[in-house]
Structure 1
Amino acid sequence: MRKQRSLNQIKEDISIRLLREKLPQEWVIHSYGSDYGIDCVIELFDFIDEKKKIVETLGENFFVQLKASDCINYTNRRAYSRGNVAKGGLTQNKEEYIDIPVANFQLDMSDIATVQSIGTAIPILLILVDTKSEKIYFICLNDYIDKVIIPEDSKYIDKKTKTIYIPLQNEIKNIKDSLVPLRAYGKRSKMYGAFNLFNYQLKEIHRLQGRTNFTPNVTFTAGVNMIHTFVEIALRQDIWNSHEFWQPIEWSFKELTELKNKMQKGVKEEDYEDFLIYCSEYIWFRLTNLANMYEELVREWFMPTYFAQITSYPDSK
């Protein structure tokens, strides 16, 4: 008997080809092995020269579950205005709603459990390929589990499959605006690393202020040097570029830069206490609050929810 190919293998080849066409040519698709629930890893690169002949890795990537179908079910999902599901159970206002055009896909619970076990720091995108229309849609499964599945179905784990609703606005195209969410997901692990760093730094500033259980005696000079070190380390974090989609990042970068410039002019010893208050209650308060906003706001972007619909897409602002 001659070698044969299954229909699934053919669809897989088609989906990889179409995905490759929709992504920037400089991005790399690494095969991962579908037996483990992850089909590929997409690594982000950018050109570093004006002639666009040399590309450099950004150290950013996201994992992909790649699915293909020639008979996708397209429907509308009614999304009601609701309370913050990160703070409590699901509460909805049935008088405020948006009907969202979506593509439906049945995902095995084993795939969902795998994604949930990985956590939130490594984004895993379900990328659905319509082999008829050759359109491709994405949804971040880590966020979908926390922001949609768990609030809406507390007994989801007992199911064999779960319907995933992917907004049609989440179409992947090789144009700048369409790639913004993918670039944002690529930065996620860097973001969580920076959030952890900022929290550590704020704790140590509180220690300088005597606001912790253990408060060693630190001289004025040593304290100022510590803050200077914190600023330098914070500014070295690779989160500040290509974040036009989220303005708080730009604000914090500007504030850190301004603090660095002020410190270069010197800090007077008589102003030390006020200086520490400024650092803890303004600069680092806002830096650490980035983590809170990321959890409450950013992780719900591009979901099939009311809030996501009014905050995620340029034409809805």
Structure 2
Amino acid sequence: MAFSKQRSEQHLIDQEGEQLLRSKLPKHWVMREYRPDYGLDFAVETFKSGEGEGRPGMYETLGEHFFVQLKSIAAPAVLPLSIFGRGNVEKGPEALDRADKVAEVDTYRFQLETSELVTVERMGIGVPVLLVIADLAARRCSFVCLNDYVDKILTPRHADYRNKQSRTIHVPTSNEIGTERGLVALRWYAKRPKLLAAFQRFTYQYSELQWAENGNWRGLAEVFARRIAAYDFWDDTEMCVPIAYDGAGLKRFLATGQPSFFPIPVETPHGVDRAEFENYFKKLDVFELWRQLSLLPKTYEDVWREWFLPTALGHVAS
């Protein structure tokens, strides 16, 4: 007997997983199928509500996106993962301190083809790719950022993670989409492209200011400040205090001419001209703003890229 085209059970599971993920995302975000599919299933675009700006019922795109690789499973196992202390893996291979057990976290364990991981690695870190496990039994969608997983776990852990056909990826169940933690994480990842672009400009501006140290550095600083003040993330990154802190200093500089990080000492050293003394500290104050801005990419690489990863730093910092 001949049969017509058929649907498998996995097709139904995949369909239900997609519906579950869509139900967990904010309803005003847009999730688009990414076709043809070479390891990226969906692209998600974030929007913000106009409610607080007198535009109820309207939603504005933030120009922020991330990719999703969705794996739907009827009833996946959840197993504990022990997390141990380790050093900075950007400076050397992973060396776990087995005497320093930081935590034990529940994770999904998924075998991902190495070819898919290599694809993500080749994309770079600019646009995050999230592996999402749709647990149909628990009605839960949990994620981990594959770009960061490759750089912060697989690469420092293995001499060459590519020498096997697949690798086990641990996805913390606590990274749950639809929760406050999950929303903060997704918003943070979606901002990555614009943050990395801004970080590049900050380091450029700081370098140029140093070249102009004995010239019209203040005029140059004012030009630079107006350029970067236009970024829309200063008041939308409450999950990252240093960015908001530097943004406040930038606003003070534009309003008053000083970011006010360094107060001018009341007493003047003997034999020093007061005006020159004050100008010296005003200059230090302005340069401190750009020094702090130029440190943001370093902190991003050392710390913030481990947020929401199943690592010691990721567990503590997240």
Q: Pairwise mapping of residues 284-295 of structure 1 onto structure 2 (< 5 A)?
A: 284-295=290-301
* Aligned equivalent of 1:105, options 98, 103, 110: 110
| Counterpart for residue 183 of structure 2 | 179
Distance 1:47 1:200 in 2: 34
Structure 2 residue aligned with 1:151: 156
1:49 aligned partner, one-letter code: E
CA distance in structure 2 between the partners assigned to 1:70 and 1:244 by the alignment:
36
Q: How far, CA to CA, are the matches of 1:133 and 1:183 in structure 2?
A: 24
Q: Calculate the TM-score normalised by the size of structure 1.
A: 0.88
Displacement of 1:273 in angstroms is 5.4
1:92 aligns with 2:92: no
Choose from 264, 279, 296 the match for 2:302.
Answer: 296
**Superimposed CA distance per residue, residues 194-246 of structure 1 (whole angstroms, 9 cap, x where no aligned partner):** 10010110111011026xxxxxxx5x4xx432211111111111221321111
Cα distance between partner residues in 1 of 2:35 and 2:221: 46
Alpha-carbon separation, structure 1, partners of 2:64 and 2:192? 8
> Which residue of the partner structure matches residue 192 of structure 1?
196
The aligned counterpart of 1:64 is 68
Could you tell me whether the CA contact under 8 Å between 2:202 and 2:293 is conserved in 1?
Answer: yes
My pick for the range that moved more, 24-33 or 83-92, is 83-92
Structure 1 residue 29, shift from structure 2 partner = 0.3
Aligned pairs for 1:124-273 (under 5 A) are 124-173=129-178, 175-209=179-213, 218=215, 220=216, 223-263=217-257
Please identify runs of 4+ aligned residues in structure 1 that moved more than 3 A.
269-277
Letter in 1 for 2:61: T
In 1, the alpha carbon distance for the partners of 2:181 and 2:149 equals 22
SS in 2 for 1:73: coil
SS at match of 1:302: coil
CA distance, structure 1, for counterparts of residue 279 and residue 220 of structure 2: 13
Question: In the TM superposition, what whole-angstrom CA distance separates every residue of 1:67-103 from its partner, at most 9, and x where no partner exists?
Answer: 1112423211111111111122222221111222111
How far 1:135 moved relative to its partner? Answer: 1.0
1:31 to 30, 33, 57: 33
Code of the aligned partner of 1:86: E
Paired position in structure 2 for 1:74:
78
Distance 1:122 1:255, change over 3 A: same
Unaligned runs of 5+ in 1: 211-217, 313-317
Q: What is the identity, as a one-letter code, of the residue corresponding to 1:30?
A: R
* CA root-mean-square deviation: 2.1
Tell me the distance in 1 between the aligned counterparts of 2:169 and 2:229.
39
Question: What's the counterpart of residue 214 of structure 1?
Answer: none
The answer to whether structure 1 residue 22 and structure 2 residue 24 are counterparts is yes
Q: Which residue of 1 aligns with 2:48?
A: 46
Q: Per-residue deviation at 1:14?
A: 1.0
Per-residue deviation, 1:176: 3.4
Cα offset, 1:167, TM superposition: 1.0
Check whether the contact 1:190–1:238 (CA below 8 A) recurs between aligned residues: no
Contact 2:74 2:135 (8 Å CA) reproduced: yes
Equivalent residue letter for 1:22:
K
Q: Given that residues 73 and 105 in structure 1 are in contact (C-alpha distance below 8 angstroms), is that contact kept between their aligned partners in structure 2? A: no
Offset at 1:262?
Answer: 2.3
Structure 2 segments unaligned to the other structure (5+ residues): 259-274
Counterpart amino acid of 2:42?
A: C
Give the paired residue count: 298
* 1:116 equivalent in alignment to 2:121: yes
Which SS does the other structure have where 1:162 is aligned?
Answer: strand
Cα distance in 2 for residues equivalent to 1:155 and 1:287: 35
Q: Is the 8 A contact 1:79 1:306 kept in 2?
A: yes
* Aligned partner of residue 172 in structure 1, secondary structure: coil
User: Per the alignment, in what secondary structure is the counterpart of residue 35 of structure 1?
Assistant: coil
Deviations 1:115-143 (A, max 9, x none): 00000111000011112222110000000
Aligned-residue identity in percent: 33
Tell me how far 1:274 sits from its aligned partner. Answer: 4.6
| Secondary structure of 1:99 counterpart | strand
Distance 1:74 1:156 in 2: 24
Residue 8 of structure 1 aligns with which residue?
10
